[in-house]
Amino acid sequence: MKPEVTGLKQLPIVVTGGAGFLGSGVVKCLHSRGYKNIFVPRSKEYDLRDPAAISRLYRDFNPRVVIHLAAVVGGIGANRDNPGRFFYDNAIMGIQLMEYARQFEVAKFVAVGTICAYPKFAPVPFKEEDLWNGYPEETNAPYGLAKKMMLVQAQSYRAQYGFNAIYLLPVNLYGPGDNFDLNTSHVIPALIRKCVEAKERNEQQIVLWGDGSPTREFLYVEDAAEGIISATENYDGEEPVNLGTGREIYIRDLAQMIAEEVGFRGEIVWDTTKPNGQPRRCLDTSRAERFFGFRAKFDLRQGVIQTVAWFNAHRVRA
């Protein structure tokens, strides 16, 4: 029998990864909506790769809802250097968390996947029904496939046990509080830091990976948090759901936009010996709007301006 999710705002909710970039945004949004019993397990106390730690987590907090955001993730370079770790850590966390959620009769499990799960050459815009029509882009395939296994698990558990698990696919995220470490960051924070530091050092150029021809879609972190919580409150289906804006931009144009907002006037040089990653990324977001009324609010330039301002104000933390 499927446990009913009633009085959601009063129920204990566990947000894994709740101290991270996206997770802190989700926790903040939950508080703003009146949720009271929110628990954020920290990795030092609850190693989500350890089944004993997961069992203890469920005993300690007795959550009725789990929002699983914890992940081991990075940019192209980090994915290329750590394929085994990225696969194992992400796969084992998702598998064990959902299995123990079933055993402890959690009422709802929200699995947050990744755009990296899509095939390398999926038709644009990416539709959820195309998820299995090819292998992901090679540099991030281990990470993408590990996270996609949560979709298989969610659908299997729903079919066999009546377990209420949903699966969301957010596109590339950015915003205040992002990771600006050049070894592990994604493209927007990396570009912001490179441009800011090059401007401060009066450098005449910055060097970026690839040739600038790929396209990417970006979702502001506040929008992503709103989408996840809207799905938690209003969606109980088995179908995966994209979260994004439905608008893409060439990486070369993104780099120019960020340089303009930072005030860097030097040359942007492309190192074509480095990989581009997936050729295009842009989502069909109609399912999210249809199923739980989600539409992104932030314009990309508006979001970049706020992210640049946050980075400049929090340089030590960033």
With CA atoms as reference, report the closest residue to 297 among 234, 230, 252.
230
Domain ranges of the chain: 8-177+217-248+280-299
Q: How far is CA 52 from CA 56, 57, 92, 111, 198, in A?
A: 6, 9, 13, 21, 47
The residue with greater pLDDT, 297 or 183, is: 297
> How sure is the predictor about 1, in pLDDT bands with cuts at 50, 70 and 90?
very low
Q: Is the pTM of this model over 0.85?
A: yes
Query: What average pLDDT does range 116-126 have in this prediction?
Result: 94
- Residue 299, SS3 per DSSP: coil
On the CB side of 175, how many CA atoms lie within 13 Å of its CA?
19
48 pLDDT exceeds 50? yes
Backbone angles phi, psi at 306, to 5 degrees: -70, -35
Neighbours of 160 (CB within 10 A): 9
Neighbours of 129 (CB within 10 A): 11
- Of 35, 46, 58, 143, the active-site residue reads 143
Ordered DSSP codes for 213-271: --EE-EEEHHHHHHHHHHHHHH---SS-EEES-S--EEHHHHHHHHHHHHT--SEEEEE
> How sure is the predictor about 317, in pLDDT bands with cuts at 50, 70 and 90?
low
CB-CB contact of 135 with 119 (8 Å): yes
Burial class (CB in 10 A: 0-12, 13-18, 19+), 205: exposed
Q: Is 46 a catalytic residue?
A: no
- The pLDDT assigned to 6 comes to 59
Query: What percentage of residues in the chain have a pLDDT greater than 70?
Result: 97
Q: Is the peptide bond before 189 cis (omega within 30 degrees of 0)?
A: no
- Written as six digits, the tokens of 59 are 């005993």
CATH class for the region spanning 8-177+217-248+280-299: alpha beta
- Give every CB contact of residue 60 below 8 A, 6+ residues apart in sequence: none
Ordered DSSP codes for 76-108: HHHHHH-HHHHHHHHHHHHHHHHHHHHHTT-SE
Query: What average pLDDT does range 279-306 have in this prediction?
Result: 96
174 pLDDT exceeds 50? yes
Exposure string of 64-94, with b = 16+ CB inside 10 Å and e = fewer, is bbbbbbbbbbbbbbbbbebbeebbebbbbbb
- The pLDDT assigned to 5 comes to 59
Cα gap 104→90, rounded to integer Å: 21
- Give every CB contact of residue 235 below 8 A, 6+ residues apart in sequence: 166, 241, 291, 292
> What is the tens place of the pLDDT at every residue in 57-79?
999 999 999 999 999 877 777 77
Burial class (CB in 10 A: 0-12, 13-18, 19+), 249: middle
- Written as six digits, the tokens of 176 are 């205040």
- Written as six digits, the tokens of 198 are 């090059």
With CA atoms as reference, report the closest residue to 262 among 299, 212, 312, 216.
312
CB-CB contact of 212 with 251 (8 Å): yes
